[in-house]
Amino acid sequence: MRASKFFNSLAGLLAGLTMVALTPALAQNSVKVGVIAPFSGPFASLGGEIENGIRAYMKQHGDIVAGRKIEILIRDTTGPSPEIAKRLAQELVVRDKVDFLAGFGLTPEALAVAPVATEAKIPMVIMNAATSVITTKSPYIVRFSMTLPQVTAPMATWAAKNGIKQVFTLVSDYGPGIDSETEFKKTFTAAGGKIVDSVRVPLRNPDFSPYVQRIKDAKPEAVFIFVPAGDQGIAFMKAFTERGLAQAGIKVIATGDLTEDYQLEAMGALALDIVTSHHYSAAHDSPENTAFLKAFNEVSGNKMRANFMAVGGYDGMAAIYEVVRKLGAKIDGDKAMDILKNMKLLSPRGRIAIDPETRDVVQTVYLRRVQKVDGQYYNVEFDKFDNVKDPGK
């Protein structure tokens, strides 16, 4: 090497070192987690719950892991909006160089981002989106929430065992709704029950009145419902009550999305005694849940009650922390996936594990009844099915 060339490269090296020295060590070395979800629009509560769940975990565990600062980059899809979700994911990967993609309240948005995770080889940590097929769309997807078939099958089994023989189903007309309708029909009819009729309602702004009238006319013993968490549950229960279906003796059974904890207070007496099946209730009695709720209330300023999506955010973040603890300086996507797909956690909902074959969560599904506890409405657990996998896989 000629002397001048040697000195040039030495100068370059020194300049580089000076830059490293000038950059605050922690910030430069931070682990970036891009969180994609709706934070405004009709599904804003999904993003709010997920974010506060993430922040509750960080509040309990600090924001430095293995000497690296954990940085959260919040991105609002305003959705349901798959195109925006995909663009946001591409920006997070290319411009912000995130180590993890996370969040995902809505199925269509998760599906749109799957190819981005595959191409970038970046783990995609699903904190809610619950259509069964999602985890098959990329080997980089792992899910810490639930699947609709997983939480629906126990409801169908319970209904058949408890003397309900004829059911009308009403679901939201997209992935999770179709999954829950299919699973309910399969398990309920296999147990001897009969499906009287089925309707699917639009995902955006459904007007429930005509459907509720159809249910009333069909005179089933019960109606099985899936609507996404948020204010649709309240709209359905209002229409149900106004048209006198309860007086006509028609019961409501549902997945816990209908009576989710955040909306439950607003639904109030309309929801009393409704039986649902789900993986999390704010009334779950465990030290982990008590500590989680305390941290959640601190970070959310007591503005919202934690629901199942908050727990999805909290557990997804616990898993990300474990990966950073194990991999330290460099988060390699493939190594991260090996850790994520074998993850076991003691969650506020109970023990959970990821099934390494499907990268879906295996967990207890609870039967709950809406009751008033100390003047507030809660989903009170009264039965459970342990180690439930997604039945479709």
DSSP letters, 255-321, are: ETTTT-HHHHHHHGGGGTT-EEEES--TT--SHHHHHHHHHHHHHHTTSS---HHHHHHHHHHHHHH
d(CA 154, CA 136): 23
Q: How far is the CB of 224 from ligand PHB (least distance, A)?
A: 15
Member of 129, 234, 343, 345 binding ligand PHB (CB under 6 A): 129
Phi and psi of 273, rounded to 5°?
75, 0
130 sits near ligand PHB (criterion: CB under 6 A): yes
65 sits near ligand PHB (criterion: CB under 6 A): no
Q: How far is the CB of 117 from ligand PHB (least distance, A)?
A: 17
Residue with tokens 């000076």: 18
Give the residue from 314, 316, 336 showing the smallest Cα distance to 325.
336
114 sits near ligand PHB (criterion: CB under 6 A): no
Q: How far is the CB of 45 from ligand PHB (least distance, A)?
A: 10
Part of the chain binding ligand PHB (CB under 6 A), chosen from 11-19, 86-94, 125-133, 326-334 = 125-133
d(CA 89, CA 294): 32
Member of 193, 228, 233, 316 binding ligand PHB (CB under 6 A): 228
Q: How far is the CB of 319 from ligand PHB (least distance, A)?
A: 19
Query: What amino acid is encoded at 93 in this protein?
Result: V
Of residues 37 and 331, the one with the C-beta less far from ligand PHB? 37
226, 148 in Cβ contact below 8 A?
A: yes
Of residues 152 and 289, the one with the C-beta less far from ligand PHB? 152
- Measured distance between the N- and C-terminal CA atoms of the chain, rounded to whole angstroms: 61
Member of 45, 81, 131, 147 binding ligand PHB (CB under 6 A): 131
Residues 333-392, interacting with ligand PHB (CB under 6 A): none
Q: How far is the CB of 290 from ligand PHB (least distance, A)?
A: 24
176 sits near ligand PHB (criterion: CB under 6 A): yes
Give the residue from 360, 363, 289 showing the smallest Cα distance to 142.
360
257 sits near ligand PHB (criterion: CB under 6 A): yes
Q: Per-residue string for binding with ligand PHB, 311-340, x by CB under 6 A?
A: ------------------------------
Q: How far is the CB of 128 from ligand PHB (least distance, A)?
A: 6
d(CA 355, CA 357): 5
Member of 37, 85, 223, 229 binding ligand PHB (CB under 6 A): 229
For residue 390, give Cα distances in angstroms to 133, 141, 233, 270, 380: 10, 15, 24, 31, 23
Give the residue from 307, 301, 295, 293 showing the smallest Cα distance to 379.
307
239 sits near ligand PHB (criterion: CB under 6 A): no
How many CA atoms lie less than 13 Å away from 86 in the CB half-sphere? 11
Number of residues that bind ligand PHB (CB under 6 A): 11
Q: How far is the CB of 174 from ligand PHB (least distance, A)?
A: 7
Member of 72, 92, 106, 155 binding ligand PHB (CB under 6 A): 106
Q: How far is the CB of 228 from ligand PHB (least distance, A)?
A: 3
125 has which bridge partners? 102, 142
Residues forming the site for ligand PHB (CB under 6 A): 105-107, 128-131, 176, 228-229, 257
